[in-house]
Amino acid sequence: MEYKIVNARLLYKESFLEGEILIKDGKTHRVSKNIQENLPKIDAEGKLLLPGLIDPHAHLRDSLLSYKEDFDTGTSAALAGGYTLLLDMPNTKPQIDSPERIKKRIEEAKGKINCDVGFYSLAFPNSDFSSLFKAGAIAIKIYLHKRFRDEEWSYENLRKVMKELSKFKRVLAFHAEELDPPFELDKYDVFLHSSFHDERAEIRAVKKIIDLAKDYDLPIHFCHISTPQALEEIYYTKLKGLNLTLELTPHHLLLDDSYFKLGNIALVEPPLRALEDVMELRKALYEGKVDMIGSDHAPHTIDEKLEEKPLPGFPNLEISFSLLNTLTDKFDVINLIKLMSINVARRFGLKKVGAIEEGYKANLFLFDPKEEWRIDPLRFLSKAKYSPFQGFLVRGKVKKTLLRGNIVYEDGVILKRGLGEVII
């Protein structure tokens, strides 16, 4: 398979080039103003040609949670949003926490994923990380606010994990909220039916992890940071030389707690915060203090969202890039690609992805930065057809997505299924 894409504004070496790209054997073979060879061609019609997005944080579900989302629908949603590689979270059913489970998940994914996927594993204090990585885990995740086998994530347990993991160059990612905060319950409880999502729960958790991380040499990643205080704490500790990164989500950047008016649909962990916090997070984003954006695509059935004890999370893959692009008057597409592709590849050691470069995988998407459209969750390819962003007018639309040179998505339709590979 050899062809060229012509008439594109392509992101090449950190700026836009009006040019052409030759795709051969699934790779970007050459980038140039003009490709001389007489080959079949695709006309980009002047649209932006960008490296496929990489999500550090998605919940594809499948297995016993296939009723919420499965490999096919989750990765279809990804392609529709311009993503070509996702890192899948391990809080599945059964959960991913052993080499056997990782192997089984990889086997199950084969032939069913429409974009590339890497799999997280959970950790226990006595996990055999060498076997987990050999089995194919890409990184490790800890939910600090969840018990495991009736135990809590004490300092001692965390130390065991960090010590063992520091032998490997793999990322340890945290959902950073404290399990039992030593403070009074407050207004969020009414909404969240739980006691541990106060802002202070995140700030304390972050401080605890940083405190421990000072003693070990390993890459630590903070998922979905939602408070400016936690963000600053991480940022300034990073400046002192600790190996930390942090991720923000589209919802914590675009929605404040007034969206609680939508009821359970807007329920998410960590929860939406006050408007002034949201504005502070945006400011930090514009100031370059943020490493990446994760979708935290977390689909549930609508019934599960509307129950008395509703489940947190909502589907985001299809709209993350357009939402962020709409936010970006102070902030251009080039920066966005850093946050949603290059930086993720770099942090997680993902090879030959994250940029349009000779020899890199031709994982790409065509984006019309001007097209305005209204978010209609009923059109989502995800099984979850609701969103707190319903009705938002956004700017910029994904037109086509390419996976190793194959046009796998075009204008709302998946053209080729099952071409995704598991990244290990």
With tokens 């000072």, the residue in question is 214
Kindly state the number of chain residues that form the binding site for ligand DOR, as judged by CB under 6 A: 8
Helices (H), 181-249: 187-192, 199-213, 228-239
Does 310 participate in binding ligand DOR (rule CB under 6 A)?
Answer: no
Please answer whether residues 220 and 244 qualify as being in contact, where contact means their C-beta atoms are separated by less than 8 angstroms: yes
Distance between CA atoms of residues 198 and 177, nearest Å: 9
Length, in residues, of the chain: 424
**Residue 268 or 281 having the CB closest to ligand DOR:** 268
Query: Hey, which residues between 250 and 269 contact ligand DOR (CB under 6 A)?
Result: 268-269
Minimum CB distance to ligand DOR, residue 6 (Å): 42
Q: Is 247 in the site for Zn ion (CB under 5 A)?
A: no
Of 247 and 296, which has the nearer Cβ to Zn ion?
A: 296
Which of residues 143 and 389 has its CB atom nearest to Zn ion in the complex?
143
Q: Which of residues 19-48 bind ligand DOR (CB under 6 A)?
A: none
User: Nearest distance from residue 145's CB to ligand DOR, in Å?
Assistant: 8
Which residue, 58 or 353, has its beta carbon nearer to ligand DOR?
58
- φ/ψ of residue 249, rounded to 5: -110, 160
Interactions with ligand DOR, residue window 173-192 (CB under 6 A): 175
Tally Cβ neighbours within 10 Å of residue 314: 24
The token pair at 166 is: 């520091």
Q: State the Cα–Cα distance between residues 121 and 101, nearest whole angstrom.
A: 9
Nearer to ligand DOR, 51 or 388 (CB): 388
**Comparison of 298 and 356: residue with beta carbon closer to ligand DOR:** 298
Whether residue 56 contacts residue 292, with contact meaning beta carbons closer than 8 Å, is answered with yes
Find the binder of Zn ion among 85, 296, 325, 355 (CB under 5 A).
296
176 close to 205: Cβ distance less than 8 angstroms:
yes
CB 219 within 8 A of CB 243: yes
Per-residue b/e over 126-160, b at no fewer than 16 CB within 10 Å? Answer: ebebeebbebbbbbbbbbbbeebeeeebeeebbeb
Task: Return the range that interacts with Zn ion (CB under 5 A); candidates 71-79, 213-221, 288-296, 385-393.
Answer: 288-296
Applying CB under 5 A, the span of 14-22, 292-300, 385-393, 414-422 interacting with Zn ion comes to: 292-300
Give, as ranges, the residues between 51 and 90 that touch ligand DOR (CB under 6 A): 59
The residue of the chain with the least Cβ separation from ligand DOR equals 313
Q: How far is it, in rounded angstroms, from Cα 22 to Cα 39?
A: 9
Among 312, 388, 396, 405, binds ligand DOR (CB under 6 A): 312
Select the residue interacting with Zn ion from 61, 101, 175, 221 (CB under 5 A). Answer: 175
Residues that are catalytic:
296
Task: Return the SS3 of 385.
Answer: coil
- Give the whole-angstrom CA distance, residue 173 versus residue 246: 9
- Residues near ligand DOR (CB under 6 A) are 59, 91, 175, 268-269, 298, 312-313
